[in-house]
Chain A
C-alpha cells in the first residue's frame, strides 16, 4: 500500500537557519503530494502541494519539489523564524479511483523548534 517516510525529529534550529525536512513516498500511480503544518493544540493547515512530477509547491517561504525519479518531496526554507516552530507532516493522496481523492496517507510528522 501507499506509505510516506519522513526524517525523524525533533529538529532544532536557530532563527535564520536553513531548513530541510526529508520526505520520501511509495505509491502506485501518480499521487498528489502535500506538506501540512500543525501548530500546538490546533488542526492541520495545508502548507503547500504539488500534483505532478517536477511541480514546485511554495508558500510562506517554504518550497518542495515533486521528484518522481527519487520519489521524494523534501521541504525547504531558506531562513526559518521562531513562528515556524510546529509539527510538519508530509502526505500523499492516491490518484486512482474516484473515492480516493482526499484520502491522505501521512508521514509520522517532524517537530521543528526554532530558537531566537
Chain B
C-alpha cells in the first residue's frame, strides 16, 4: 500500500531564517505531488504541484519554492522566512493517471517568530 511521510511535524523558525520541509511517498511510482498551505481558520490553498522530476508549477506568487529531486520526493523551501509564512503545510500525492483523489501527509505546523 502507499504511504506518505512528511517532516518535521512542528517547526518554529525566526524571521529571515531558511526553511526546508520534506515529503516522500512510498509504494507508488511517478505520482503527482502537491504542497498545500492551510492558514489558521481558513481552507487549503494549493502552492505547488509536480507531475515529474524537476517539473514544478507554482499556483500563487510567494516567498516559497519547491523542488522534486527524485520521483517520490518533494521539498518545500524558503531562503528567508516571513511572519506571513506561518501556517500548516500539507504534502499530498495522487496517481498519475485518471484517478482524481489526493492523499495527504500528516502536515507540518510552521510558526515564524
Contact = CB atoms under 8 A, between A and B. Distances in A.
B105 interface: yes
Q: How large is the interface on A (under 10, 10 to 19, 20 to 34, 35 or more residues)?
A: 20 to 34
A102 B106 contact: no
A89 B100 contact: no
Contacts of B103: 46
A21 B10 CA distance: 31
Interface residues of B, number: 29
11 contacts: A42-B106, A42-B107, A43-B6, A99-B57, A101-B98, A102-B92, A102-B94, A102-B100, A104-B44, A104-B92, A109-B42
Contacts of A34: 101
A43 B100 contact: no
B44 A102 contact: no
A32 B100 CA distance: 7
Contacts of B109: 41
B34 A102 contact: yes
Nearest to A49: B101
B7 interface: no
B104 A106 contact: no
Nearest to B98: A101
10 tightest Cβ-Cβ pairs between the two chains A and B: A102-B94, A43-B104, A93-B100, A32-B100, A108-B43, A44-B104, A106-B44, A43-B106, A106-B43, A43-B107
Interface in A39-58: 41-46, 49, 51
Nearest to A95: B100
B102 interface: yes
A77 B34 CA distance: 30
